[in-house]
Amino acid sequence: MEIIICQNEDHVGAVGAAKVAQIARRVGPGVVIGVATGGSPLSLYAHLASRVEAGTLDLSEASAFALDEYVGLPIEHPESYYSVIDRTVTKPLHLDPARVHVPNGSLEGLETAGQRYDAAIVAAGGVDVQILGIGANGHIGFNEPTSSLHSRTRVKTLTPQTRADNTRFFDSEDDVPRHCITQGIGTIMEARALVLVANGAHKADAIAAMVEGPVTSWCPASVLQMHPRATVIIDEAAAGRLQLADYYKQTYENLPEWQRLDVR
């Protein structure tokens, strides 16, 4: 696992965008990007958008697959992940909406929606780079603690903590849906590269458990230890509980030329 500790949230976004742009350039125009919602990747998307606007990155032929969606929230709702992805990813990155996929959280066909979503990812050739955030309880996607590390895309029940954390996007906690459809941990692990971004002291325990704790479904993100190309990009506050923080900093500062990122 590569750990990059940044001065602040904007720097996390700049480094994350550099990593995603590097992979996109290597893969070519048809790159398949896995996208997360939530606050953590917004700076990364803003930095990617700057590259697109500057003409140094073209994602017009790229495909995108979102991690998750609320169950039962109409897609027109401003906080449905369909709407959030359209607003924060599809439009600013000039993606072709026909190639942007979000799991279907409508009640009709819900039983098979997960299987169909996994099949669509395979049909697109698999995800080249998956952008991830992490919940304060260590979830990735909406795979809450004790999710199977081999799980596939399916319906899950959100924990009270996740519903409380996401109340900020709704009028009240009662309005936060109780169920979601999320890529499984097994699905996420099939992406050829993972880029996880996180900011703030409230993520410090989850980051320490993910990076330096045991691999356990109690901290679903700890499964990243098993991925051959996982990069974790965090600010100083989120790195606050890492025992080897100085080592990770030294490693990043002394990368050989060919491994360095073009951070803008």
Instruction: Considering only the stretches 34-42, 54-62, 71-79, 212-220, report the one whose residues sit in contact with ligand F6R under the rule CB under 6 A.
Output: 34-42
Name which position in 133, 138, 177, 220 contacts ligand F6R (CB under 6 A).
133
CB of 207 to ligand F6R, least distance (A): 12
Number of residues that bind ligand F6R (CB under 6 A): 14
Instruction: Considering only the stretches 6-14, 54-62, 127-135, 230-238, report the one whose residues sit in contact with ligand F6R under the rule CB under 6 A.
Output: 127-135
CB atoms within 10 A of CB 10: 14
Name which position in 140, 209, 224, 239 contacts ligand F6R (CB under 6 A).
140
Q: Is 5 in the site for ligand F6R (CB under 6 A)?
A: no
Instruction: Considering only the stretches 35-43, 50-58, 90-98, 210-218, report the one whose residues sit in contact with ligand F6R under the rule CB under 6 A.
Output: 35-43
Q: Is 135 in the site for ligand F6R (CB under 6 A)?
A: yes
Q: Is 37 in the site for ligand F6R (CB under 6 A)?
A: yes
Instruction: Considering only the stretches 14-22, 109-117, 122-130, 131-139, report the one whose residues sit in contact with ligand F6R under the rule CB under 6 A.
Output: 131-139
Whichever of 163 and 229 has its CB closer to ligand F6R, that residue is 163
Q: Is 101 in the site for ligand F6R (CB under 6 A)?
A: no
Residues 141-170 that bind ligand F6R (CB under 6 A): 141-142
Q: Is 39 in the site for ligand F6R (CB under 6 A)?
A: yes
**Phi/psi class of residue 8: alpha, beta or left (left: φ > 0; alpha: ψ in -120 to 50)?**
beta
Q: Is 213 in the site for ligand F6R (CB under 6 A)?
A: no
Assess contact for 53 and 88: CB atoms under 8 A: no
DSSP notation for the chain: -EEEEESSHHHHHHHHHHHHHHHHHHH-TT-EEEE--SSTTHHHHHHHHHHHHHTS---TT-EEEESEEESS--TTSTTSHHHHHIIIIITTTT--GGGEE----SSTTHHHHHHHHHHHHHHTT--SEEEE---TTS-BTTB-TT--TT--SEEEEPPHHHHHHGGGGSSSGGGS-SEEEE--HHHHHTSS-EEEEE-SGGGHHHHHHHHHS--BTTBGGGGGGG-TTEEEEEETTTTTT-TTHHHHHHHHHT--GGG-----
Residues 53-92 that bind ligand F6R (CB under 6 A): 67-68
Name which position in 40, 151, 187, 217 contacts ligand F6R (CB under 6 A).
40
Q: Which residue is nearest to ligand F6R (CB)?
A: 133
Residues that bind ligand F6R in the complex, under the rule CB under 6 A: 36-40, 67-68, 133-135, 139-142
